[in-house]
A and B are shown apart, each in its own frame.
Chain A
Amino acid sequence: AQSVSQHNHHVILSEAASLELGCNYSYGGTVNLFWYVQYPGQHLQLLLKYFSGDPLVKGIKGFEAEFIKSKFSFNLRKPSVQWSDTAEYFCAVNVGGATNKLIFGTGTLLAVQP
């Protein structure tokens, strides 16, 4: 069965530090990849997604992610975090087919200290 791993469960950074959150998936075929963010008290919203083409994807709020097929990875990055980036970040995979079934990782809680 397909699965998604987010190895960093809790990350604490100071403002202006660089961020990289890991995401690995287990599936040998074509995948569609997503990063969602959940700010405190809010609903999940899409940060960015990858379907095909350039493996470096840019999203909202200065986030980007790189798809490395050989490593089954889709890590999220931001050069300089802000206090407002404090949130839970979820990686998700969709293996295509006839349904839009998202398989989520367990999430990474990012706390940015001012």
Chain B
Amino acid sequence: DTAVSQTPKYLVTQMGNDKSIKCEQNLGHDTMYWYKQDSKKFLKIMFSYNNKELIINETVPNRFSPKSPDKAHLNLHINSLELGDSAVYFCASSQDRTSTDTQYFGPGTRLTVL
């Protein structure tokens, strides 16, 4: 059983397009996250939701909009894609927002913007 799943696994698109990445967790966790991993493998948090409430919003262009329809899902919508958005995007979840909670990661979505 997949704990944290993401779709699609690969996404290739043209500049200027709008795309979405979906994330689902079946662990019953309350908190979910989006991370971006750049070409140098540097992982940086983008957003976090706790019970559908936004609790972390790092300095991310407003072209990126997370949406949490319920606590098991956190989707990432990106408008007007740019070359610099090419990266691997990881979704993660944890039991709650406590700083000692382990985060469980999804398999990642490799986004390539041409």
Contact = CB atoms under 8 A, between A and B. Distances in A.
Interface residues of A, number: 26
B56 A88 contact: no
Interface in B54-104: 55-56, 90, 92, 94, 96-104
A43 B99 contact: no
Contacts of B106: 43
Nearest to A46: B102
B45 A90 contact: no
Contact of B56 (A36, A96, A99, A106): A99
Which size class do B's interface residues fall under?
Answer: 20 to 34
A104 B56 contact: no
Contacts of A98: 55, 97
A42 B108 CA distance: 9
Interface of A: 32, 34, 36, 42-46, 49, 51, 88, 90, 94-104, 106-107, 109
16 contacts: A43-B105, A43-B107, A44-B105, A49-B102, A88-B41, A96-B99, A97-B99, A98-B55, A99-B55, A100-B31, A100-B48, A100-B98, A100-B99, A101-B99, A106-B41, A109-B41
